[in-house]
Amino acid sequence: KKKAAIQVGDVFAIDAVKATEGQALNQLHEMSFGFATVLTEVESFPEEGKVDIRVIADTGPACRFGPITVTGKYDIPEELVRAEVTIKEGSAFRASKLADTQRRLFSLGVFSVVNVVPDLSRRGEALIPIRLELSETKYRQLRAGGGVQLESGKQDVHGVLEYQHANVFNRLWKLTTG
């Protein structure tokens, strides 16, 4: 309640109501309620210049992470991908673990798409399966750039050439020269 986007005495704004709804849902997801839903009701009293806002939460059951499947087209050994996954099967469901896994996989520099998708189709079950959807990026990049600097009595020409390989021998080794 203290951290809500809308507080008693604030000017009414529907964006703040929606933000508060999102904050409540995120907090419930962080507390292992993967199937939680949040609904807000607004009742207006224009003659008094006030509104009442009620936030209604249905937590559903406390959830745990279920099996983790990896899908997509990539050449990296799956054990190297799984080494970056912070989600552990059987541990309490936490939205932050989903985001952390996505961030870690992106930071490898070899994927252009990383989706960490909880399967919420089985509402009410305690285990939530997770699907990692991956699509690799181009491993090799060649960057070239240049510039000219003109000052009174002095001229400079600068050039830069850099080669980067983000997945040498399909082992996630990085090579940068330049």
Residues 88-144 have pLDDT tens digits of 999 999 999 999 999 999 888 888 889 999 998 888 789 999 999 998 877 667 778
Q: Which amino acid is at 47?
A: E
Phi, psi dihedrals of residue 53, rounded to the nearest 5°: -120, 130
Q: For 19-36, give one letter per residue: b (16+ CB within 10 A) or e.
A: ebbebbbeebbeebbbbb
**33 pLDDT tier (thresholds 50, 70, 90):** very high
Which parts of 59-110 are beta strand (E)? 64-73
Query: Distance between CA atoms of 93 and 63, rounded to whole angstroms?
Result: 5
Output helix, strand, coil percentages for the chain, rounded to the nearest 5: 20, 45, 35
What's the token pair of residue 11?
């000017």
Query: Distance between CA atoms of 114 and 134, rounded to whole angstroms?
Result: 5
> What's the Rg (C-alpha) of the chain?
25
Find the length of the chain. 178
For the whole prediction, is pTM greater than 0.85?
A: no
Spatial contact of 67 and 129, defined as CB atoms under 8 Å apart = yes
